[in-house]
Amino acid sequence: MRKRISLIQPQSLIETELTNSIEFMQLDEKSIDLLLPEILFITSYPSRECGIATYSQDLLRALNNKFQYSFSLKVCAVESKLSDYSYGNEVKYVFNTSFPKLALRLAKDINDDESIQIVVVQHEFGFFNQHPEIFLKFLSLLEKPIIITFHTVLQSPDETLKLHVKQIVNVASSVVVMTKFSSEVLKRDYQVNIKKVAVIPHGTHLVSQLDRDLLKTKYHLSGRTVLSTFGLLSSGKSIETTLEALPAIVLQNPSILFLIIGKTHPTVVQQEGEVYRQMLKNKITALKLEKHVRFINAFLPTHTLLEYLQLSDIYLFTSKDPNQAVSGTFSYAISCGCPVISTPIPHAIEVLQNNSDLIFDFGNSIQLTEKVNSLLRDNSRRQKISSDGLHRMASTAWENAAIAHAILFEKTSNQQIHLHYRIPDINLEHIRKMTTNFGIIQFAKVNHPDLDTGYTLDDNARALVAFCQHYEITKDSNDLVYISIYFQFIRFCLQPEGYFYNYVSETYHFTAQNTTSNLADSNGRAIWALGYLISIRHLLPVGLLLEAEKTLQDALPSMSKVHSTRAMGFAIKGLYYANLCKSDFEYVPLIEQLSDRLVQMFRHEANHKWEWFESYLTYANSILPESMLCAWLSTHNPIYKNIAKSSFDFLLSKIFTPNSIRVISNKNWLQKDDEKKLHHIGGEQPIDVAYTILALHKFYEVFEEEEYLNKIEVAFNWFLGNNHLKQIIYNPCTGGCYDGLEEHAVNLNQGAESTISYLMARLTVEKLFVTIKKISAISRTEIHLLINYAEQKVITE
């Protein structure tokens, strides 16, 4: 009998023993998948063409992309009549609602399937309206925990409908709806216990926010002002409302082109053919709109659809169903940065609450005309609506929807499911996009480099470290181009007196900010970057290495005068790395000088309750204990080692819980006399998480304590969604990292600091994989799984 498994933390001894096992080397990913707890989705599914089928496919993809070795996802495809759909391997069962007797047999098959731990039902009344009593019987027979996702929640139900919905809810462990409004309706109209309801918004696709004009050129729409709508065509879309509004819109905007994207709904075609589409064509002719309307009669691939939405100047949502609880098309348009004008379905009212003038009455073409013309006259307003929409919908990314669902699965599974985030592939796209021939640009507007903000030594120093890390691991010669750019920027910032300026304008001039800001930390970062560059001397062209060594030598005299805590920490790290390949210990005296200053600071402030260098915890805290550890590695002075260990463990006690990290908020430093650990939510910066991961790796290398290794995983998962908002900080679409985690939202700008910080953390994890892999292609997470496999096999036998 196949034994299900869940992942647990192994003991290092068992891990070492199993590393030498030949048996589990033969266990491929497909075999591992068979051992995982299974979640069965009862839903329509492609190749069936319908909105819920697409939704379910997107959700499964997001879950599989976001998590690994956590669960196995399978589908029970909902059909009706004599369907002939072609499915992928993920479809395990079929639920044909036209044959009620088969439904009861299906319930037995699901109950007998020991691998299935949870059943998730994507509910739409149209799926099960042929035999609603059989559907209820089917649900009541299931012996697995059930999660019901209501895609429609009808207001003011009659008693029959109310009873039907309550019966469905009663057999469910949890209920998912996609808007707060739907949750309120369930509570108000159906008396559903709100504690049973989870609101998980309809997922949306991350996009790279491509240039609208370039996309118009690509699709031969240059010079046109584009209105669009999309979805499987039916009379419920009320496309005629827009057609009736168009003549008055065209009078003021002669370049208007209205795109009607999507084929006719297959069910509509079966029932009435193309009657509705033909009616629209006749109306277009009657209104003489042939030059201003274009049908795209296809079920477009997702990437093509998203590009059409990004090139649209305004998206029009004209549904005439006041009970439509949610719309994926509406969500996709806003998440693509497209201003939307909509009829007042609850979803639109909820999302557009701060732009209520974008709502028009059902079927009211006169109102629609006024709103379109008004918005087209106001370009700045459209830009603001676009920006507001992106921020409003950021939390609905499919990655975040996957996290919310996975947390619900974990809760529902009775400890059968344990979540393990899938580590994304290394992606340098956004950093390369941010880099000019001169250096890396400081800030970005969402994912577009903002050249007006200029450059900083800070960012280019960090970028140099990151690309040196990448070059060490990959030996990709293309990295040398970027290493050279960032190094030359550092040289550019070095002043004749031996110290560095930090701020450089977009025209390559030093700004006045250099004379009004404390540049000590920036100088320390430059030393860190130069030292790290020199540490990979065996990989560098001779000329570059000699230039780096000379630059470091020119800068060192001024560093001996520095007393800023973190500046000294950065400099110690840089000198440690520069000294790694030297036999004459050239940099040791300066390491000792700076480290002794930190020792004195520690002794002045520390006591048995506060083992730290200052009377507060602020930013880049991990740099200090890590630098003391580097000092010990360079000098073998046990004082440095002891202070490194005690201060780092103290810091970790303030920022870690067993399953999460919350670094010190930039809104409120943690003071020595504050007994609370952390009391301000938000203001968490990617750079602080990254520095913590770098320090944890160094401490794990030295002390080999399993707890440091565990904390690296916990800290890195902060980027992937294990934070207080349960939202991604790293954007896998762009390769950028969001600038900060606030109390209620994520800062969507993807500037240099945050993106480089993520990359340093990701490369540190990659380096860790190399360190702890005992056999080829077996990662630590796989070892966790295989340990369970071995343990369960022993138990079974």
What are 442-452's pLDDT values in tens digits? 999 999 999 99
The strand pair at 314-317 and 340-342 is best described as parallel
513-533 pLDDT, tens digit each:
999 999 999 999 999 999 999
pLDDT for 9 equals 35
Over 90: is that where the pLDDT of 114 sits? yes
Over 80: is that where the pLDDT of 216 sits? yes
Over 90: is that where the pLDDT of 456 sits? yes
Over 70: is that where the pLDDT of 437 sits? yes
Average pLDDT, rounded, for the chain: 90
CB atoms within 10 A of CB 225: 20
The strand pair at 38-43 and 441-445 is best described as unpaired
Over 90: is that where the pLDDT of 535 sits? yes
- Dihedral of the alpha carbons of 290, 292, 298, 302, in degrees to the nearest 10: 180
Fill in the DSSP letter of residue 155.
S
* Alpha carbons 122 and 595: distance in angstroms, whole number: 61
Mean pLDDT of 211-239: 95
Beta bridge partners of 686: none
pLDDT for 20 equals 40
pLDDT for 537 equals 95
Secondary structure of residue 444 in the 3-state scheme? strand
Name the percent of the chain lying above pLDDT 70. 91
Q: CA 617 from chain center: how many Å?
A: 28
Peptide bond just before 47 cis, omega within 30 deg: yes
* Alpha carbons 50 and 35: distance in angstroms, whole number: 32
Over 80: is that where the pLDDT of 778 sits? no
pLDDT for 101 equals 86
* Alpha carbons 327 and 333: distance in angstroms, whole number: 10
* Alpha carbons 230 and 57: distance in angstroms, whole number: 19
- Dihedral of the alpha carbons of 29, 59, 300, 362, in degrees to the nearest 10: 180
Q: What phi and psi values does residue 465 have, to the nearest 5 degrees?
A: -60, -45
Please report, as a single letter, which amino acid is at residue 280: L
pLDDT for 495 equals 97
Mean pLDDT of 212-219: 95
* Alpha carbons 593 and 555: distance in angstroms, whole number: 16
* pTM score: 0.91
Task: Tell me how far apart the 2 most distant CA atoms of the chain are, in Å.
Answer: 90
773 pLDDT band, cuts 50/70/90, is: low
pLDDT for 677 equals 53
Q: What phi and psi values does residue 324 have, to the nearest 5 degrees?
A: -65, 110
Of 218-227, 333-342, 388-397, give the range with the top mean pLDDT. 218-227
pLDDT for 209 equals 86
Peptide bond just before 44 cis, omega within 30 deg: no
94-110 pLDDT, tens digit each:
999 888 889 999 999 99
pLDDT for 732 equals 97
Q: Exposed (0-12), middle (13-18) or buried (19+): which is 446, by Cβ within 10 Å?
A: buried
Over 90: is that where the pLDDT of 658 sits? no
Which residues are CB-neighbours of 201 under 8 A, at least 6 positions away? Answer: 178, 179, 331, 395, 396, 401
pLDDT for 22 equals 36
pLDDT for 502 equals 98
7 pLDDT band, cuts 50/70/90, is: very low
pLDDT for 676 equals 58
* Alpha carbons 673 and 475: distance in angstroms, whole number: 49
pLDDT for 13 equals 31
488-508 pLDDT, tens digit each:
999 999 999 999 999 999 999
237-267 pLDDT, tens digit each:
999 999 999 999 999 999 999 999 999 988 8
* Alpha carbons 247 and 242: distance in angstroms, whole number: 10
Over 60: is that where the pLDDT of 287 sits? yes
Mean pLDDT of 156-182: 95
> Where are the extended beta strands (E) located within 423-489?
441-445, 448-456
Lowest mean pLDDT segment, chosen from 247-256, 299-308, 749-758? 299-308
Mean pLDDT of 661-676: 86
